[in-house]
Amino acid sequence: MAFPSVRDTDRLARAVLRQRLKLRANENLTIETYPGSLPWATGFVREARRIGARPLLLYEDEGSYWSAVDEGRASLVGSPGGHEWGALGASDAYVYFWGPEDLARRARLTERTADQLVAFNRKWYETARKAGLRGARMGIARVTEANARRFGVPLGRWRAGVYAASLRDPARLRPAANRLGRILERGRSVRIVHPNGTDLTLALAGRTPTVSIGEITPEGRKTPFGAMASVPDGSVYVAVDESTADGTFVANRPNTTSYDAPLEDGRFVFRDGRLARSSFGRGGRQFRAAYASAGAGRDRPSFVELGLDSGLEGLPMLEEAAVGAVTVGIGRNASFGGTNSVSFLSYLTIAGAELSVDGRRLARGGRLLL
């Protein structure tokens, strides 16, 4: 049987629209998709109508997208017309199936072209927030044969893992996420230790953590990017004190993203609140180029994150959300409660580490101790 079947698509649509977005009768739903995700998107059209809502399907052709880039019209792609802004402003809910699908080609773009293609981003989120929109970014759209080859994972296992995680009710993660959030907000220091040589201490600054478990909340919708939730997802992160970091953090998980080259076997060494040294088994050239061109603040600690979802281990672009995974960032954090607005942001992830706040263990050996 081909995947996805109508049963698969309708089951996913039912879980996302009813559990995560709480779509209601007579609401307007906009669904944006690229070719590979069209079968999933049509399932959302069907389910929206079963609920009594009004779906609008917005289709972006992959070939036409890249034709515009090749012909020097990236700025046109990044500046939607008034009719598209009107649809966004009139939407109650929004489902976005990630695109473009060719992540390797997207990663090879120049910084100027890449910025042109997403020039609409800030206005998009401002419009969505004003509209009170509830939205979901669907990770299943990134699971393709080409991307599986890029990340070196079996397509079937990746797809099954993302699909299963997307079906699960995010409410199961909420109690642990809320407890962790309270601890991080009230805590003073974080220590991360692992036998691989990791021993890093960071300072907390009384900032409000971000709970990212794939659901939209009234509190989240007040934040700049809180109108959209990633599906699946499962972590809590917080901006740390930018002036305090001492020790070594050694990754044992890759960091895979939509647009950047994967970082593998990374190491950050901090001294007196700054990144003193870094090294990588893969991806170091791209990291060093971006780091060299960034301004003041690029070397400062940015955030700490703890993963909560036991079903996400080994899935590309979800490494940080796997249960017990600890992620540490450097650079920008102004968009989620910090004071550093430098353009640069990078991070590394470790699985199986011990994380403690003010001496209290919260995670160890891939298990939560909340």
Condensed to tens digits (0 to 9), the pLDDT of residues 312-333 reads: 999 999 999 999 999 999 999 9
Span 206-248, pLDDT tens digits: 999 999 999 998 888 878 788 999 999 999 999 999 999 999 9
Closest to 355 (Cα-Cα) out of 272, 259, 263, 240: 240
pLDDT of residue 262 exceeding 50: yes
Other C-beta atoms within 10 Å of 257: how many? Answer: 15
pLDDT of residue 223: 81
Look up residue 144 and give its DSSP letter: -
Q: Which pLDDT band, with edges at 50, 70 and 90, does 2 fall under?
A: low
pLDDT of residue 138 exceeding 70: yes
Tokens in use for 25?
A: 């009768």
Tokens in use for 359?
A: 């001496």
CA–CA separation, 101 vs 342, rounded Å? 28
What is the domain partition of the chain in residue ranges? 6-167, 173-368
Q: Where are the beta strands (DSSP E) in 157-300?
A: 189-194, 198-203, 210-212, 228-231, 235-239, 245-250, 267-271, 274-279
CA–CA separation, 69 vs 308, rounded Å? 38
Q: Sign of torsion, CA 304 194 350 232?
A: negative
Closest to 44 (Cα-Cα) out of 125, 35, 54: 54
With beta carbons less than 8 A apart as the criterion, state whether 327 and 349 touch: yes
* CATH placement of domain 6-167: 3.40.1830.10
3-state secondary structure of 118: coil
Q: Residue 152 burial (CB < 10 Å; 0-12/13-18/19+)?
A: exposed
Span 173-189, pLDDT tens digits: 999 999 999 999 999 99
Tokens in use for 344?
A: 């640069």
Look up residue 299 and give its DSSP letter: T
With 0.85 as the threshold, say if the pTM is over it.
Answer: yes
Contacts of 362 (CB under 8 A, 6+ apart): 180, 183, 306, 355, 356, 368, 369, 370
Contacts of 178 (CB under 8 A, 6+ apart): 211
With beta carbons less than 8 A apart as the criterion, state whether 308 and 176 touch: yes
Element (H, E) at 114: helix 111-117
By DSSP bridging, strand 274-279 and strand 345-350 are: unpaired
Tokens in use for 12?
A: 């996913």
Look up residue 261 and give its DSSP letter: P
By DSSP bridging, strand 301-307 and strand 345-350 are: unpaired
Q: Sign of torsion, CA 12 138 82 77?
A: negative
Span 30-86, pLDDT tens digits: 999 999 999 999 999 999 999 999 999 999 999 999 999 999 999 999 999 999 999
CA–CA separation, 204 vs 185, rounded Å? 8
Longest dimension (CA), the chain: 58
pLDDT of residue 1 exceeding 60: no
